């Protein structure tokens, strides 16, 4: 019962019932990305994403970013871009998680290269 309640009312817990119905009746699957997110488009030209896990807009890879924002460039025509060896894989925003960057994570004493004039 609780999962049905979540599906109907809670938009941050995957897709809602309204989005599911809209996707079934009006959505055409355009493709999926490496994270498992599904990209849909209606006949009227509206575009939306059904995220696989947690809903986070930073999970959109560059291949699909231009498509979802209606940016006309070469990426929109081919969603399988050639990846170079020097390119890092796409990562979602890590802010607020344990993987976030922190300059003094281990609480080590910072060694100063100078002496302060007030002691």
Q: What is the pLDDT along the chain (119 residues), one digit of tens a residue?
A: 666 776 666 666 667 777 888 888 999 999 998 888 999 999 999 999 988 877 878 888 877 888 888 886 554 455 556 778 888 877 778 888 888 887 777 766 667 777 778 76
Angle between helices 17-26 and 2-9 (to 10 degrees): 70
User: What is the spatial distance between Cα 48 and Cα 57, in angstroms, rounded to a whole number?
Assistant: 11
Q: Which residue carries 């059904």 as its tokens?
A: 50
For residues 74 and 84, the answer to whether their CB atoms sit within 8 Å is: no
- On whether the pTM is more than 0.85, the answer is no
């Amino acid at each position: 019962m609780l999962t049905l309640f979540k599906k109907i009312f809670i938009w941050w817990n995957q897709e809602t019932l309204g989005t599911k119905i809209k996707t079934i009746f009006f959505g055409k699957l355009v493709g999926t990305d490496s994270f498992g997110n599904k990209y849909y488009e209606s006949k009227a030209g509206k575009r939306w994403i059904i995220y696989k896990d947690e809903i986070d807009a930073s999970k959109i890879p560059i291949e699909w970013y231009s498509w979802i924002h209606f940016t006309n460039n070469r990426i929109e025509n081919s969603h399988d871009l050639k990846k170079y060896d020097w390119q890092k894989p796409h990562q979602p925003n890590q802010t607020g998680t344990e993987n976030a960057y922190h300059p003094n994570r281990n609480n080590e004493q910072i060694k100063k290269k100078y002496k302060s004039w007030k002691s």
